[in-house]
Structure 1
């Protein structure tokens, strides 16, 4: 099984969405976790709402510090660290110092949308669909060979 740590600053929206989606779609091939460099301490309520609306499990999701996943403790336990902040929106992206393969997925933050409920729904749905597509792409690679999988993901999803 390939393990993935999704990292964002506050660990309340995009990294949480990525964790839940990966764990459902991963089908025992991928195992995901999420953490933040400055966690907010709680998952954004709309993250929970829209995950549930899309049929994803939300029990056990929590906003937590990446200290829980210290590179010193988990170099052997996490295969890939993926940051999900939006550098295009001038967001500061946390830097992970572990030895894992590091990737960046620039995901727009749907929790920052200040509009109607429909505008928020559209933003969350778009983010969820983008994460689903990226996870499906990961699942198209051979997860039974860790080294081959890591080489393919570095080439295709970086």
Structure 2
């Protein structure tokens, strides 16, 4: 049975979207991935979409979602790096990845963030497969 994982940050416009896309691509056999933010935002950052395309992840149809748009309870909650207060979502397991938001920076910052997110998503998939989570 797949584990429901939610990747959450403030705007759901970059880091959490990257994590959702990578989890769907790399871990669809063990994860049911969602992402959301705590505040409204108009779009997924174009540079985030661009660097994900470089990884073979099409985020063309992705849009920022709020916590109310994802399941009310998940197995795993991953916060991407809380600016003020981490959101509360009922879950069985929770961790904060503390990833810096590349928004406003050059594309190289987005690539660096994508690579960090990819490494963490692959580690999460391995931990789920080995029943550590």
TM category, shorter: 0.7 to 0.9
How far 1:100 sits from its partner (Å)? 3.4
Compute the TM-score of the two structures, normalised by the length of structure 2.
0.87
Residue 94 of structure 1 corresponds to 86
CA RMSD of aligned residues (A): 1.9
- Pick the aligned partner of 1:107 from 94, 99, 119: 99
How far 1:142 sits from its partner (Å)? 4.9
**Structure 2 unmatched ranges of 5 or more:** none
How far 1:132 sits from its partner (Å)? 1.1
Change in Cα spacing, 1:7 to 1:109, as seen in structure 2 (3 Å) is same
Compute the TM-score of the two structures, normalised by the length of structure 1.
0.74
What aligned pairs does 1:25-64 form with structure 2 within 5 A after superposition? 25-64=26-65
The 1-side partners of 2:65 and 2:9 are apart by 10
**CA offsets per residue over residues 103-145 of structure 1, 9 Å max, x none?**
10111111132xxxxxx222111111111111221222353x7
Which aligned segments of 4 or more residues in structure 1 are displaced greater than 3 angstroms? none
**Considering only CA atoms, is the larger Rg found in Structure 1 or Structure 2?**
1
Q: Are positions 1:80 and 2:76 aligned together?
A: yes
**Structure 1 unmatched ranges of 5 or more:** 114-119, 151-158
Alignment length (residue pairs): 132
